[in-house]
Amino acid sequence: MGTAVDATLATELSLLSALMLAHPIVDHWALWQEHQKKRDEERQKYFDHIFSEEGTEEETWPDPILVEDTADPLAFLKKPDALEMLHSIENYLSAQISIVEKSFSRYVVTGDLPAPHYPFRICVILRKSKESDLEMSFLAAWCRHFGWIGRDSGARYADLVSRAKKLGVVVPDSDRALASHPLKRPTP
């Protein structure tokens, strides 16, 4: 039998779900392209400066790509460290909520799709705690933005959609992927 989720964490998760439900659907492909263009421009400025008369190759002016804020705490870890970190937080709902919240905030600005591992862990924790109402409301919010991502984009995305449908959540049509996924959108 599972342990009930702490009231504070339930509130945090409800607030995250409400935030995701309230936020308009974004054209992540357009955001992603715009963000990539800005990153390329910043990187070009960096290299232009380094190789100019004023700059030196030894300068420590930070590469904007490396210092860019990332929602995923594993982004700059080596594999053994990343695995250790994943295992250390896998049953901590607060850590999972925080990562998903940061990932979603980043998504609506940059169009970068959030990793599905963390929302999946939220669902596992909620399922073990027998918190199906919280799980269902979270999955409804998640699938509103990411339910269109098909299995070929990763099994975890499909697992989240499958779980949502099992709980009775109406999931957007996955055909939307062809129109908005950066890896699937037809080139003009």
Whether 148 has a pLDDT exceeding 90, the answer reads: no
Reading phi first (left if > 0) and then psi (alpha if -120 to 50, else beta), residue 48 is in alpha
pLDDT attached to residue 16: 97
Over residues 10-29, the pLDDT tens digits come to 999 999 999 999 999 888 88
Smallest Cα–Cα separation from 27: which of 103, 105, 110? 110
Whether 187 has a pLDDT exceeding 50, the answer reads: no
Integer Cα distance of 130 and 124 in angstroms: 10
pLDDT interval class at 131 (50, 70, 90) = very high
User: What are the residue ranges of helices labelled H in 25-131?
Assistant: 28-50, 64-67, 79-89, 93-110, 117-128
pLDDT attached to residue 110: 87
Whether 184 has a pLDDT exceeding 60, the answer reads: no
Integer Cα distance of 37 and 5 in angstroms: 42
Over residues 70-93, the pLDDT tens digits come to 556 666 677 888 788 888 888 999
Q: What is the mean pLDDT of residues 150-179?
A: 78
The answer for residues whose C-beta is within 8 angstroms of residue 154's C-beta and 6 or more apart is 116
Whether 124 has a pLDDT exceeding 60, the answer reads: yes
Average pLDDT, the chain: 81
Whether 50 has a pLDDT exceeding 50, the answer reads: yes
